[in-house]
Amino acid sequence: MMMTDFTGEHTWLKIQHELSLRKLIENSEYQEELKYDFNIKGELRHLDTNESFVFNYYKNAHEQNHKHYQILGHLITQYVYELLERLCMLQKVYIPTDAAEDEPRSFFFMSENALTSSSSLIVLLQDRGVFRAGQWGQRTIISEGLGHGTQIPFIQMALQSHGGVIVLNPNDNFVDLKNEKGRLSSSAREEALTSTRSVWWIPKRGSSSPEEHTMYVWDHFISKSAARNVAFIAHGYGGLVFIDLLVQKKWEVMNKVYSVAFIDSMHNTQHQTRGNPQLQEWIKEHCREWVSNSKPLDKAVSSVMKVNCPTVSAGTEKYDLAPSCCLHAVFKYLKSTLKAKTTTAFRYSPVATRSSTSKKRGNK
C-alpha cells in the first residue's frame, strides 16, 4: 500500500482543507488564546505572528499557562487521532471487546488487513506520558512538528514496506469522572466513588496500565493475526512493557516476533528476565537498541549498565528526537532481519529439502 508522506503537498493540503487543528480550537473556549495551526511542513505556528508556541503565554502565571498547554495538548491528541484515521486510513478498535454499553473503553488503531494478511506486521509501542496513540511525544509535536513528534512517518513506512501496522494506545488508562459524568451510568460512577485508588478516576478494564493494555491487544488481536512475522518498535517505557510481555508470554512472543527495535528503552534485561538465559539470548539475537548519543547514526555504543542487545547511536543527543532521527535505520534493520529469517525458513523448509533431494538424485 503506497501512501504520500504527510509533508507531500497534495495530500497534506487536502487533509488541511477537510480538517485542521484550527477548526478544533474554534470549537473550544480558547480560540483567542490558541490561535495556532500546523503549516504545510507540519510545524505548529501562530496564525498572526507565524511564531512557535509560547509556553509562558501568561506572565508569571504557572497554573494558567499549564492549563493553556493542557488544552492545546488535548486538541492535538484529537487532531492526531483524526490523522491516523483519515490520512493513514487506520481503523479505531475499541477494547475490551466484551464491554458493556456504559462501560469505559480504551482503543487502539490498526490497518485494514492487519489481522488477515499473512505479510509482516509492525507494532508501535510508545513511551509513557500524557500523550496517546500516534504520538512519540506531545511536547515534541509542539516544538518540532508532526514529522518528529508523531508516529505517522513510521506508520506510513510500515504500510509501504511491511503491509500491516498496529498502533497501541498504552497511556489511555483511566476515565476522568469530572469530564465524563454525562457518559457514565450511575452504577459506574458509584463503583468509582467507592474505589480506594481515586474518587475521580476509574481504570479502563484491560487497559489500566501500559502493560495490561499491551497484553490485552496481544492476547485478543496480535497473537491471533495471520501474520507469521511480527516486529515491535518500542520507545522509552515501551521497551520495558515489551520485555514484560516477553516474560509473560514467552513461547508465543518468541515464535511470533522476529525482531524488536528499541529506542532509548527503559527495560532492564537482567532484572526483568530474572536471570533466564533463554530469554536473554533471544533478546540478544532478535533485538537492537538505538540510544541518544553524540556518535553518528548507527555507530556502536557500549553499554556498561545493561547486559543487552546490540546498541547503536540514534544520531542525536536529544531524547525527544531519537525516534525521528533513526526512522530509516530502524526500518533498514527490520527489513534485513526479516529477509534473514525468511531465507533461513525457506532453506530448512520441507519443500525446499525435498526439491534439493530430487535434484541430487537426478544428477546421479
CATH of the domain at 256: 3.40.50
**Shared domain check, 1 and 97:** no
Residue 304's pLDDT band (boundaries 50, 70, 90)?
low
Average pLDDT of the residues of the chain: 85
Confidence grade of residue 64 (pLDDT, cut at 50, 70, 90)? confident
Specify whether 295 is located in the same domain as 260.
yes
pLDDT at 3 over 50: no
Same domain (yes/no): 350, 226: yes
User: Does residue 213 lie in a domain region?
Assistant: yes
Q: Tell me, yes or no, whether 233 and 281 share the same domain.
A: yes
> Is the residue at 192 inside a domain?
no
Say whether pLDDT at 110 is over 50: yes
DSSP 116: T
Instruction: Mark whether 164 and 241 lie in a shared domain.
Output: yes
Task: Give per-residue pLDDT as tens, 207-233.
Answer: 999 999 999 999 999 999 999 999 999
C-alpha distances (whole Å) from 243 to each of 159, 164, 257, 279 are: 25, 22, 12, 9
State the DSSP string of 11-63: HHHHHHHH--HHHHHHTSTTTTT--EEE-TTS-EEETTT-PPP-S--STT-HH
- Is 294 a residue whose pLDDT tops 90? yes
Do 213 and 339 lie in one domain? The reply is yes
Span 318-342, average pLDDT: 95
Last residue of a domain, one of 87, 110, 128: 87
167 with 295, same domain? Answer: yes
Mean pLDDT calculated for residue range 184-211: 64
Predicted local distance difference test score (pLDDT) of residue 180? 53
Residues 64 and 101 in one domain: no
Q: Cβ distance 261 to 288 under 8 Å?
A: yes
Same domain? For 100 and 19 the reply is no
187 assigned to some structural domain: no
DSSP 3-state assignment of 257? strand
Residue 314 near residue 331 (C-beta atoms within 8 A): no
Q: Give residue 350's pLDDT.
A: 52
The count of structural domains within the chain is 2
Q: What sign for the dihedral angle of Cα 130, 135, 140, 145?
A: negative
Return d(Cα 288, Cα 297) in angstroms, integer. Answer: 13
**24-34 pLDDT, tens digit each:** 887 776 677 78
Q: pTM value?
A: 0.86
Do the domain assignments include residue 201? Answer: no
Residue at a domain's end among 59, 87, 115: 87
Task: Please determine, for residue 11, whether its predicted confidence score (pLDDT) is greater than 60.
Answer: no
Tell me if 194 is assigned to some domain. no
212 shares its domain with 326: yes
Q: Which domain holds residue 293?
A: 89-172+207-362
In percent, how much of the chain has pLDDT > 90? 63
Lowest mean pLDDT among 23-27, 95-99, 240-244: 23-27
Average pLDDT of span 165-189: 70
CA distance 304 to 288: 16
Domain boundary among 87, 113, 142: 87
What residue spans of 261-362 are helical by DSSP H? 269-272, 277-286, 322-325, 327-347, 350-362
What is the model's pLDDT at position 191?
A: 44
Say if residue 254 is in the same domain as residue 354: yes
Same domain for 234 and 111, yes or no, is yes
Q: Is the pLDDT of residue 321 over 60?
A: yes
Give yes or no for a contact between 133 and 77, defined as CB atoms under 8 angstroms apart. no
